[in-house]
């Protein structure tokens, strides 16, 4: 039978003890839920907001969780940074170290993250082989399909060497995001020829491929799918190379911290602004204030593999209630669309603890075994039932939103109904 967490069950949890940005007091019946996000570089502000949202929700629901065997636990939060100052974004070595640290922290039961799919592909196999696990990871932001379903050779099985799944996500994947973006650009904007660039990362290659494949199906000519080097000081030569083919659309399969600012500037300098040659970027450009403030970003379209923060707030219910309490504490409504999806990931973990024996293995089995766990629409901060397919870990909600940069901020144009 599916286990549903009701508001009464959540509100019964009492007195939260939050660990100060990193530490766990340990001892007694303590469970640590961690976050694993890049807290340096261009996305620092966005991920600080995600952490603030998760901390606030824990404060609201209390901090004593009773597992299915009747044991009462105190819940603490620990923040891990997977970025380095040298890179200004997530770092392979830091992700590998964090994974080992998660396993070594005896009281830690689950990880909320990562932000970048490439980092998750490093961490998930380590957590999967935890002798006391597998240890559960739930992401609010990973969208690369290969983490959960066949995509590139060997995926997803190579991330689960034990043969058991320990990873899930509350957000839709890039195959759906690419499909929605291509359908929108063809049907609503009417573009005919698109140049696709990718940052050669796991995420960038995946979302670029998804867009390009679906653009062709929509009758759009894909001029090329070009990998660019994020360390280059200029990309004007790339745009000059294709200018003679008269693209009316450019798609960036990338994150903004892959030198996205320079990429946007050079696109506008060579091909024209975003009213002349349309720019569409995926959710790797969402949540970056530096991008929003760029004059060259004006008019750019963005896709987000979920429902945007303003949509979730406008629909009322628990999402709006939480957003208003966030404003009361932090002075403004959530700006980052991943914030509420981070809270949703936390809701899944709390539901799993309540349905388990309070161990790593037990929690993973509760969330990704049997019929899994379900957060009712009435209790969900996403305004709809939250349920991860226990066989894959993917959310059953295939939401994608189209936004546009307007007056220095992304404004929601519409949730896109994907056509299969």
Considering only CA atoms, give the Rg of the chain. Answer: 21
Q: Please tell me the predicted confidence (pLDDT) of residue 232.
A: 97
Q: Please tell me the predicted confidence (pLDDT) of residue 64.
A: 82
Q: Please tell me the predicted confidence (pLDDT) of residue 294.
A: 98
Phi and psi based region of residue 339 (left: phi greater than 0; alpha: psi -120 to 50; beta: remaining): alpha
CA 2 – CA 327 distance, rounded (Å) = 34
CA 52 – CA 35 distance, rounded (Å) = 11
Task: Fill in the DSSP letter of residue 277.
Answer: S
Q: Please tell me the predicted confidence (pLDDT) of residue 28.
A: 60
Where does 228-296 show beta strands of DSSP type E? 249-253, 278-281
* CB distance 166 to 135 below 8 Å: yes
pLDDT tens-digit profile of 216-231?
Answer: 999 999 999 999 999 9
Give the burial string for 281-310 (b: 16+ CB within 10 Å, else e).
Answer: bbbbbbbbbebbebebbbebbbbbbbbbbb
| pLDDT < 50 positions in the chain | 1-27
The CB-side HSE value for 332 (13 A sphere, CA atoms) comes to: 7
Quick one: 131 exposed, middle or buried, by C-beta within 10 A (0-12, 13-18, 19+)? exposed
Structure tokens at 358: 């309070």
CA 387 – CA 244 distance, rounded (Å) = 48
Task: Fill in the DSSP letter of residue 264.
Answer: H
CA 37 – CA 400 distance, rounded (Å) = 22
CA 86 – CA 102 distance, rounded (Å) = 23
Q: Is the dihedral of CA 51, 116, 379, 25 positive or negative?
A: negative
* CB distance 249 to 225 below 8 Å: no
Q: Please tell me the predicted confidence (pLDDT) of residue 9.
A: 33
Structure tokens at 8: 């009464």
This prediction's pTM: 0.87
Quick one: 316 exposed, middle or buried, by C-beta within 10 A (0-12, 13-18, 19+)? exposed
Q: Please tell me the predicted confidence (pLDDT) of residue 22.
A: 37
CA 315 – CA 87 distance, rounded (Å) = 38
Matching residue, tokens 């620092």: 44
Helix and strand numbers (H, E) in the chain are 13, 18
The DSSP element (H or E) to which 47 belongs, if any, is helix 44-61
The DSSP element (H or E) to which 119 belongs, if any, is helix 117-128
CA 91 – CA 89 distance, rounded (Å) = 6
**Residue of 348, 345, 398, 343 whose CA lies nearest to 373:** 348
Number of other CB atoms surrounding residue 70 within 10 Å: 8
* CB distance 397 to 107 below 8 Å: no
Number of other CB atoms surrounding residue 22 within 10 Å: 11
Q: Please tell me the predicted confidence (pLDDT) of residue 293.
A: 95
**Residue of 52, 13, 37, 43 whose CA lies nearest to 325:** 52
């Amino acid at each position: 039978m599916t286990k549903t967490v009701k508001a009464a069950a959540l509100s019964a949890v009492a007195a939260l003890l939050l660990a100060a940005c990193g530490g766990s007091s340990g001892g007694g019946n303590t469970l640590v839920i961690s976050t694993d996000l890049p807290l340096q570089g261009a996305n620092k502000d966005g991920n600080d907001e995600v952490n603030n949202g998760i901390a606030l929700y824990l404060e609201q629901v209390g901090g004593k969780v009773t597992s299915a065997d009747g044991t009462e636990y105190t819940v603490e939060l620990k923040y891990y940074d997977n970025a380095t100052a040298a890179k200004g974004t997530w770092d392979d070595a830091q992700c590998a170290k964090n994974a080992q640290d998660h396993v070594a922290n005896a009281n830690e039961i689950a990880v909320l993250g990562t932000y970048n799919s490439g980092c998750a592909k490093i961490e998930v196999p380590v957590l999967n082989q935890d002798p006391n696990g597998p240890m559960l990871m739930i992401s609010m932001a990973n969208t690369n399909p290969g983490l959960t379903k066949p995509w590139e050779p060997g995926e997803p099985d190579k991330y689960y060497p034990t043969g058991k799944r320990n990873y899930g996500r509350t957000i839709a994947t890039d195959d759906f995001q690419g499909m929605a973006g291509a359908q929108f650009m063809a049907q609503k904007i009417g573009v005919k020829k698109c140049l696709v660039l990718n940052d050669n990362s796991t995420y960038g290659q995946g979302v670029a491929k998804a867009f390009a494949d679906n653009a062709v199906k929509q009758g759009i000519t894909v001029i090329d799918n070009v990998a660019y080097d994020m360390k280059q000081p200029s990309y004007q030569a790339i745009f000059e190379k294709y200018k003679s083919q008269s693209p009316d659309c450019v798609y960036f399969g990338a994150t903004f911290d892959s030198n996205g600012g320079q990429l946007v500037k050079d696109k506008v300098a060579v091909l024209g602004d975003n009213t002349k040659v349309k720019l569409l970027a995926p959710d790797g450009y969402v949540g970056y204030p530096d991008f929003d403030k760029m004059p060259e970003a004006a008019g750019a379209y963005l896709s987000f593999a979920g429902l945007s923060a303003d949509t979730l707030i406008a629909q009322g219910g628990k999402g709006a209630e939480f957003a208003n309490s966030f404003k009361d504490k932090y002075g403004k409504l959530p700006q980052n669309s991943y914030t509420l999806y981070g809270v949703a990931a936390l809701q899944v973990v709390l539901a799993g603890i309540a349905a388990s024996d309070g161990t790593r293995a037990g929690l993973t089995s509760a969330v990704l075994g049997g019929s899994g766990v379900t957060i009712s629409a009435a209790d969900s901060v996403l305004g709809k039932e939250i349920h991860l397919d226990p066989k894959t870990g993917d959310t059953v909600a295939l939401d994608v939103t189209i936004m546009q940069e307007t007056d220095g901020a992304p404004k929601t144009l519409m949730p896109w109904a994907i056509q299969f």
